[in-house]
Structure 1
């Protein structure tokens, strides 16, 4: 009898933690665009939320996607949002998609699930808020690459520094410090 009461308490605590974490984007009103960079946001400031989770994409229709597929193995909760590139999630345009935030050790232990959303065809417009976030992140990435290239050129290692900056930009590094010895 005591074991059952402990088990119920553990389930209640786990449910409480899962209820605190919420996927805010994508949603029915904030769709993604196929073969494009898309925004994933969640409620990271809530109490009792897991520190890390795995990000998966699934579809309610098993003919589209048989089971959820991991697109980020371990994501830190404190980031609050992340840009998902076309290399991470390259699903075809369609409806019934959902993003799941799950336990990194057991992906069937889902902490949060997005609303069902649509992935629109390549070339479609983003919702207004998401378009601003993607543009802002792209501008920050371009600025970081330009700053790194400028910094390395001023230090006298222009060929090596510029080459390293281009490699960082090509790898999709959004921010960071490039130190040239």
Structure 2
């Protein structure tokens, strides 16, 4: 029986202190032009306002090496902007730190690319489903998200591979 690889810790090096413990107002998933390699502007985010500035914490995946199937999970502070985006409101009070704690508790960093499709889309879809099941976002959010994915897939400027591109392990 093959042994699962050691998971990477969640990378919080680009998650600024000012963006921790922020109450999330809505979740967004964005589509950006994707080269066939990591692009740090392709996130699933929790958005909030800080003064008059819209900010977000990105919950995203990154695969560092072609030969290693293990995927790194990152939390990144950033201003909010995207050409295509899907959003859903929060129905239960939740902070950016609550999401981090949920990712750790549900072992969302126990994740590896399987060589097919899109690993970040697979992971984002699973996170939306988890947040829906936890009562943080509305029932039907995953279905709504997948409709937006299908819309973006029709735009030739965006590469949206078929699923599943990765898998969770214990």
TM exceeding 0.5: no
| Bigger fraction of residues in helix | 1
Rg bigger for which structure?
Answer: 1
